[in-house]
């Protein structure tokens, strides 16, 4: 079974795009991939990551978050900045729950594993604690803290007073809005969104990987997650935040660092059995 660009209904009833592939020799386990900030399911070489796991017998699902700036007509070029501005971490958690319900309607008796890239790593950790069906959590170049990435002092006060701040998308050159509700949602859920607490107390297997030369999310983030979860950090040598992938990715094979990452992640999953 291979489903591309289907539509699921995510947080706040907003529709978004989703892919699912189940191999003929299905092992009963589905990897759900959560993209990062300003990411989307079709970025770079994510389709080849999907192919890699499917060839190993895993089902694989990747989806666009509902409030990521994309639409069901165009999930790539951020045609709806207003939805981006209304995003929250709670919205992304609700998206994941709805995605898992959507998979339930397609597949019976499956086990779930989540892989989160960058900000998606935070979602993977939070969801891993909250959702019983998730068997394991893998973080790829994940942030180690949500709170520390918000503005401080006068910048935070300005965001509060104006209700919105803007971040530039380097690919599309758009100035994308972020409403202050992103921060209030975090503060309301500060305990359940505390990644250090989750890593320290969760009883599910965690795999933590980071690129050695990551300049977007410093490798210190991976070190902290690994330390808190009492596991070893998988360092991918001499590579960046996206493991040498780029968008668009026109080659037919994975970049070597991303291939190494897939191999290490699949070994982690296989060793769970």
Domain coordinates of the chain in residue numbers? 2-271
In whole numbers, what is the pLDDT of the chain averaged over residues? 98
Whether residue 72 contacts residue 7, with contact meaning beta carbons closer than 8 Å, is answered with: yes
What integer pLDDT is reported at residue 124 of this predicted model? 98
Token pair, residue 182, equals: 């992103």
What integer pLDDT is reported at residue 16 of this predicted model? 98
Instruction: Please determine, for residue 94, whether its predicted confidence score (pLDDT) is greater than 90.
Output: yes
What angle in degrees, to the nearest 10, is found between the helix axes of 256-271 and 46-55?
40
Pick the closest to residue 241 from 264, 213, 222, 209 (CA basis). 213
Contacts of 100 (CB under 8 A, 6+ apart): 32, 112, 131, 133
What integer pLDDT is reported at residue 198 of this predicted model? 98
The percent of residues above 90 in pLDDT, for the chain, comes to 100
What integer pLDDT is reported at residue 210 of this predicted model? 99
Label the pairing between strands 111-117 and 134-140.
Answer: parallel
Whether residue 6 contacts residue 19, with contact meaning beta carbons closer than 8 Å, is answered with: yes
Average pLDDT score over residue span 135-139: 98
Instruction: Please determine, for residue 3, whether its predicted confidence score (pLDDT) is greater than 90.
Output: yes
What integer pLDDT is reported at residue 80 of this predicted model? 97
Label residue 273 by pLDDT band (50, 70, 90): confident
pLDDT tens sequence across 171-205: 999 999 999 999 999 999 999 999 999 999 999 99
Label residue 165 by pLDDT band (50, 70, 90): very high
Question: Where are the alpha helices (H) located in 202-255, listed in sequence order?
Answer: 219-228
Question: What CATH number was assigned to the domain covering residues 2-271?
Answer: 3.40.50.1820
């Amino acid at each position: 079974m291979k489903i591309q660009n289907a539509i699921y209904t995510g947080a706040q009833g907003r529709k978004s795009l989703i892919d699912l592939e189940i191999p003929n020799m299905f092992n009963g386990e589905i990897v759900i991939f959560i993209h990062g900030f300003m990411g989307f399911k079709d970025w770079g070489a994510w389709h080849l990551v999907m192919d890699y796991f499917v060839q190993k017998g895993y089902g694989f699902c990747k989806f666009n978050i509902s409030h990521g700036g994309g639409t069901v007509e165009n999930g790539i070029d951020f045609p709806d900045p207003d939805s981006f501005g209304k995003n929250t971490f709670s919205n992304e958690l609700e998206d994941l729950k709805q995605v898992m319900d959507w998979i339930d309607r397609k597949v019976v008796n499956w086990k779930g594993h989540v892989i989160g890239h960058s900000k998606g790593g935070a979602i993977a950790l939070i969801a891993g604690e909250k959702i019983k069906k998730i068997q394991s959590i893998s973080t790829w170049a994940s942030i180690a803290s949500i709170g520390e990435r918000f503005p401080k002092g006068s910048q935070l006060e300005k965001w509060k007073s104006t209700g919105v701040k803007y971040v530039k998308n380097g690919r599309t050159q758009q100035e994308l809005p972020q409403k202050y509700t992103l921060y209030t949602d975090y503060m309301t859920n500060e305990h359940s969104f505390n990644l250090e607490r989750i890593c320290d107390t969760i009883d599910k297997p965690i795999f933590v990987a980071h690129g050695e030369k990551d300049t977007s999310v410093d490798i210190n983030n991976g070190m902290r997650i690994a330390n808190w979860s009492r596991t070893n950090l998988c360092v991918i040598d001499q590579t960046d935040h996206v493991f040498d992938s780029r968008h668009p990715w026109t080659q037919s094979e994975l970049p070597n660092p991303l291939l190494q990452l897939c191999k290490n992640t699949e070994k982690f999953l296989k060793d769970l059995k």
